[in-house]
Structure 1
Amino acid sequence: MKRNMRKILKETDVSKFIEYKENYFNCLQDEGETDFLNYLQKYYFQTEERVMMWAHCHRINAGINTNMAIESLNKLLKYNKMCGQRNIRVEKLLDLLDEIVDEKMWKKIIYSERPNSNNYQHKITMESHKKAEHMSDMVETSECGFKVQSCSEKDKYYLVYYNELCDKDCRTGYCNKCKLCLHRYKSQCPENTIKSVICKHIHAVALFEVRSKSVLGSGNIDMSDKNDILYIDEPSSSQLHYQNDVTNFIQENSIKQEHKPLNFDERREVQALKYIIIMFLTIKFIGHDGGDS
């Protein structure tokens, strides 16, 4: 029963999802599990809108496959910020939410400047890369991109195709060995469509292309490569966008802090973070000017 339910949850094809659901409901009816059947129909299958909230087939490339992040944020707000209080005023709740946004933004800035290699997505990416190293003979080229054979089902193939070429400094779900980010390829694998990580099939395609280029040889550098070499020291669009976001956030935070009383520790922490970010942006700006000169 549990395996069939998980199969329904993880199915990414709508027609197969409906087929699995009907078979599962008939199985529950035959086994006499009417209470559980009524529970599912009442809370999870009552309307199409409700099904679209949790079924994987309706959440392709949504980027969120669980409500644990929402539960974690709710716990942070309820216990860390509200201290278990109930029925607080709306303006107080908005102030607390504003504090959470500021804290998350500071953490994002610090993580961008000092990445932590032990984060969860990095571990998943490295595990997928290690699995892909043993899939060298399972990649084939096709008209739409590449076909990668499934490791669990021999007759099943996943289609991997090019998605978009990001800036060279994009580090979203980045793989240090394949030198690619999450946006470079798209795959039909649930690991990529549902969990939004670089699956082993994408890693296998990246390694396949590296081997193909090494066999064909580098050849002559075309004009696009020359342009990349000439302007490699210039900041990319994502860098400029990130720097503008950081600058605007610091300015807005400074204005808010002027009208909000802080204790000594909080003020010292804010001033230290502001000093670090401003010094970093100044050094990077001077470095770019020096490279242009």
Structure 2
Amino acid sequence: MGGAGASAAGRGVADGSRVAQGQPGAEPGTAAAGSDAGASPAGRGAAEGPRAAQDLHGREAATGGSAGLDRGGAAGGEDREHPPGVRHLAGRWPETFDDIAAVVDRVPRLVRELGLDGVDAERVVLAGHSAGGHAALWAAARHRLPPHARWHLPAPPRVSGVVALAPIADLTAARALRVCSDAVDQLLGDRLAARLPLADPAALLPTGVPTVLVQGGTDVDVPPQVADSFAVAGAVAGQPPRVVRIADVGHFPLIDPATAAARTVADEIARLTAGSSPS
């Protein structure tokens, strides 16, 4: 899995190293979660989130913790969590989720601090590709987490919706298909049974947040069955998502701005910001 998160052209992008909310004069904003498995959408873009994550990383590394989320390399020396020959994992618990929550919570303040007067911080669409699609769906579902969960929100996020591109939307289905070399198991670690209900967007339905899945019909990286399973869960929960299936399209054309598939993604983002009020 890989590639940058998708957003409507001219509406803004958060790509794992920054969060931007379009250009002055743009109406809606799009916070796009990155697409690398477990790559933190907050990455290095949010102020308090990355510091907290790095503190957690540092403490675990100091006590001999396992290899985990790549923070982009350690300045001035070898990254202790990624020594030569150690396999990089597809994110890790709980730091990946700390970062997702931090970046989404940070967007409204970023808009104010950067003086983006033409951007409406309450007309944001969360968008992401592949594992970034999982991140976007999960970020929109945090109010469905139990109150004791560290990422719980008391109310739905003030977003216009979610557009998830070839998302790892149903973690149970993705595990059964061994998507991306068992990325779900890598992300959740050795307490998978306890963590799965807190991490799986399909288990957190209904969210009340307008949700669109854009899926390539010939995707072999994240097969359509994963999106289909999420759609079934949504229907059972009383919130069937809009599913846009694009025939003869694989995993990556959805994030290639030169393709018709990417234009479809942009259209879906525009439709949500134009037609939906914040949840």
Identify the TM-score tier after normalising by the shorter chain: under 0.3
Query: What TM-score does the superposition give when structure 2 sets the normalisation length?
Result: 0.23
Q: For CA contacts below 8 A with separation 6 or more, give which structure has more relative contact order.
A: 2
Structure with more strand by fraction = 2
Structure with more helix by fraction = 1
Query: What TM-score does the superposition give when structure 1 sets the normalisation length?
Result: 0.23
